[in-house]
């Protein structure tokens, strides 16, 4: 059996993916992969996602330069979520979020409101041209 056949793909042929930072174990982002994206990620050891809005493969960092180098690829116990352990490149500390922050998970619930708890490290207007 092909290793990709063991993944439980959804009705659109996608699987959810969590990117976690190699050293700190911070959760950087959530995205989707199709079969080709996961195969390319394993082959290149670089994160390749599937952009649902653009309907095509998305090589993380292709516009921003914030590439994710893949150290480990894991599949959860139900075979329906992929975890990537990555080194986020392109800025120190690494920027994973299109808002210019380290992590996409920069809002924390507090007293029935969402607080922004991580700073913008680089203005997104200077990242995306």
Whole-prediction pTM value?
0.89
Higher pLDDT, 126 or 112: 112
26-79 tens-digit pLDDT:
999 999 999 999 999 999 999 999 999 999 999 998 888 889 999 999 999 999
104-114 tens-digit pLDDT:
999 999 999 99
Fold observed for domain 3-127: Ubiquitin-like (UB roll) (3.10.20)
Domain parsing of the chain, residue ranges: 3-127
Average pLDDT score over residue span 13-26 = 96
Query: Phi first, then psi: what are they for 112, rounded to 5°?
Result: 60, 30
Helix (H, G, I), strand (E, B) or coil at 40: helix
């Amino acid at each position: 059996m092909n290793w990709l056949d063991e993944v439980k793909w959804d009705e659109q042929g996608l699987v959810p993916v969590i990117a976690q930072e190699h050293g700190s174990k911070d959760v950087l982002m959530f995205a989707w992969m199709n079969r080709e994206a996961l195969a390319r990620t394993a082959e290149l050891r670089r994160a390749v996602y599937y952009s649902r809005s653009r309907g095509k493969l998305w090589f993380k960092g292709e516009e921003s330069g914030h590439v994710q180098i893949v150290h480990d690829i894991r599949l959860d116990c139900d075979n329906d979520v992929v975890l990537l352990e990555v080194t986020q490149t392109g800025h120190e500390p690494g920027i994973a979020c299109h808002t210019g922050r380290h992590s996409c998970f920069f809002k924390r619930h507090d007293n029935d409101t969402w607080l922004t708890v991580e700073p913008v490290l680089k203005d997104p207007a200077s990242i995306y041209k």
